[in-house]
Structure 1
Amino acid sequence: MAITMKSLANALLILCLLAASCEAKGLGRRAPAAISPHRTAPRRDPNEKVFNVLQYGAKPGGKQDSALSFIRAWRAACNYRGTARLLIPMGTFLVGATIFQGPCLGPVPIKVQIAGTLKAVPDPSMYEEDFWILFENINGLLVTGTGTVDGQGNAVWKYNDGGSRFPSSIKFNHVANGIIRQITSVNPMGFHISIVLSQNIRAKHLHITAPATSPNTDGIHISQSSVVKVSRSVISTGDDCVAIIQGSTDVSVKKVTCGPGHGFSVGSLGKYPDEKDVRGVVVTNCTLRNADNGVRIKTWGGSPPSQASNILFQDIIMDNVKRPIIIDQTYGSKSNSPSRVKISDVRYINIRGTSASEVGVDLKCSEAVPCEKLYFSNINLKYYGPKKLPFTSTCTNAKVNYVGNQFPPPCR
């Protein structure tokens, strides 16, 4: 029987309609949905157990201290032998001194999700040690969430006499393989985040804020730790945006915006006896805006011997920074004796922008142990101060090599 082109087309149309009808009724096999190449949100582990602080007595509202409830929830999560996540849900929680202590029994990392707002008890006498929230003796830790940690420091800063040590909002002590990300820290009594005696730590996508006048409020304070990476964060505070002090090795700071604040500092060093050396510091692709200092190395006069070496500041933008490039080996001390911290192998590469002072590069090194192997390549700073003054560099006891453009002009 002959088949016309029209009848063939009609038959194909009927078959297509039947196939579509079967698929709509679930009778046909549906093709798998396309997966977007940009999808990054991981699937939650179906075996993960969530430990909600509300189930352990925590009370939102910001009036009742929930520290003990937080600790009870942590102990349950830490002792669980499966995958565990401690959840601090939406809401405002008043929390006194809190210790999240390991070691934990389950697979790593143990997760802490902060979705709500934590407010510190604003009374320094309630804190026997130098922390508000402590993570200690943990191997494998993830602290994450979109929540806020509020140290309520504005209620206690007036009691800071310059010699007091108020508690850090978050402290990592003896933590290995840890990540802290996406948290907002505001108004700490002391430092925002302190990393001590820890290894392989990542701090990223953080928002850190305190007034420019807040005392001793370092953004991230790193001590006696190795392989620490700080990245993609915004820090506005009253002291160093990032401070890298004694015993810190292999530390990188990348894509961080600082200001107001006291810049990115190696030090202060040499304040105490038997301090360990600092080496392997890299600060790259960072921006400083309206900061008191830019990139700084500071050591105490009259200090015991130690070293700071293998330091790189590269691809830095300065926007109205008062003292863009500084080495100060007379910091903090009234001693007439020179610092004995040896500074060497420091490289400044591709640093550009504007200075609010007429001295763009200020190198005050020790007469006892002069700075060696300082390397400046392509420095392009401009002075935009209130007065028309010569824009200069000053160098004392420093051995400097110059390559490429240099503005302000190099020391001679």
Structure 2
Amino acid sequence: MRKIEGGGTLDGQGASAWGQSQCATRPYTIGLSSIQSAIVHDIHSINSKMFHFDVYNCNNVTLSHVNIIAPSDSPNTDGIHISLSSNIRVFDSNIGTGDDCISIFAGSQNVNISGVTCGPGHGISIGSLGNKPNEVVKDVHVKNCTLIATQNGMRIKTWASSNVGEATSISFEDIIMDKVNNPIIIDQHYCPSHTCSFQKSLVQIKDVTFNNIRGTSNSLVAVNFNCSSSLPCQKINLNDIKLINDNNAKPTIASCANAIGHATGIELPPSCLKPALES
């Protein structure tokens, strides 16, 4: 079992590189590649030039009690980026950065995240998927996390014009949102450059559960399911959702496009999911 531990701080001195093009290749602070069984704990990482921790093609890796800090405007400084990896655990950590606090990318499965406080940042994200053929993420479980003033809360994203792929068996449970812009979001028209062709996404999103999600939304649309018209989101489950408008001026709303599922328990905002057709 490999270990990276201690109470020290790794300073990536990222300010010297953040002004470069976002397409420029920049170093990660810690890269874990093709590792079988490892533990990372009690590590502090600040101001990475790009990802703070990159977990690539690994199996059985645990990250705990890591503290990650970068300015909210620092580009591509994901806290923990996971790709092509399985049996990954992240717990009891604080992440504030300029991009996703945790990003779960293609080829990842059996990922468990708990006890993470995120903010600032872009939230906890699955994707983006569909840039290459057959990109799949499955068995991801996020529980008992808090997001503070982040751009997004729990997000699944696929490219606006995508290849075939899948995101399935995903759950977000016992999540607190504090002034989050997009607390619950599925975006199958993701295109940060705004130059995509916007063809229909071919990534199938299914079996996704949001359970006991509570707190405040900075936007009126607290639940946004913008799914593909060619492959609608299937089996989306909402249970006990209570997201109120931060300024209390208007009630929050839900927006659904091509999203099939059901809601139970508290529905704030009221669910807009389309029920599945009876067979």
Give 1:218's match in structure 2, choosing from 78, 94, 101: 78
Deviations 1:29-70 (A, max 9, x none): xxxxxxxxxxxxxxxxxxxxxxxxxxxxxxxxxxxxxxxxxx
Give the CA deviation at 1:302.
Answer: 1.5
Identity, % of aligned pairs? 44
CA deviation digits over 1:80-118, x for unaligned, max 9? xxxxxxxxxxxxxxxxxxxxxxxxxxxxxxxxxxxxxxx
The equivalent residue for 2:277 is: none
Match of 2:227 in 1: 365
Alignment partner of 1:402 out of 239, 242, 263:
263
Match of 2:127 in 1: 267
**CA displacement 1:122-156 (0-9 Å, x = unmatched):** xxxxxxxxxxxxxxxxxx31000001111100111
How far is 1:389 from its partner? Answer: 3.2
Query: Could you tell me how far apart the structure 1 residues matched to 2:36 and 2:133 are?
Result: 24
> Which structure: greater strand fraction?
2
Please tell me whether the aligned partners of residues 180 and 204 of structure 1 are also in contact (alpha carbons under 8 angstroms): yes
Stretches of structure 2 that go unaligned for 5 or more consecutive residues are 274-279
CA contact (8 A) 2:201 2:230 kept: yes
Higher relative contact order (CA 8 A, sep 6+): 2
Gaps of 5+ in 1: 1-139
Contact 1:282 1:311 in 2 (8 A): yes
Per-residue CA distance 1:275-306 (angstroms, 9 max, x = gap): 43110000000000111100000000111101
State the secondary structure of the residue aligned to 2:39: strand
Distance 1:165 1:359 in 2: 35
| Mean Cα deviation higher: 150-159 or 184-193 | 150-159
Indicate the structure with greater helix content. 1
State the Cα deviation string for residues 333-355 of structure 1 (Å, max 9, x = none).
61221110100000000000000
Q: Indicate the SS of the match to 1:311.
A: strand
What amino acid sits opposite 1:406 in the alignment? E
Give yes or no for contact 2:14–2:47 (8 Å, CA) kept in 1. Answer: yes
TM-score (structure 2 length as normaliser): 0.95
1:380/1:406 contact within 8 Å kept:
yes
How far apart are the structure 1 equivalents of 2:212 and 2:150? 19
Instruction: Please tell me whether Structure 1 or Structure 2 has the larger radius of gyration of its CA atoms.
Output: 1
Question: What are the residue-to-residue correspondences of 1:208-287 with 2, within 5 Å?
Answer: 208-271=68-131, 273-287=132-146
Residue in structure 1 matching 2:205, options 343, 355, 364: 343
Alpha-carbon distance change, 275 to 153 in structure 1, aligned in 2, over 3 angstroms? farther
Cα distance in 2, alignment partners of residues 269 and 254 from structure 1: 23
Q: What pairs up with 1:129-148 in 2 under 5 angstroms? A: 140-148=1-9
CA distance in 2 between counterparts of 1:298 and 1:167 reads 25
Question: What is the RMSD computed on CA atoms of the aligned residues?
Answer: 1.1
Question: In 2, are the aligned partners of 1:247 and 1:275 still within 8 Å (CA)?
Answer: no
Aligned partner letter, 2:259:
A
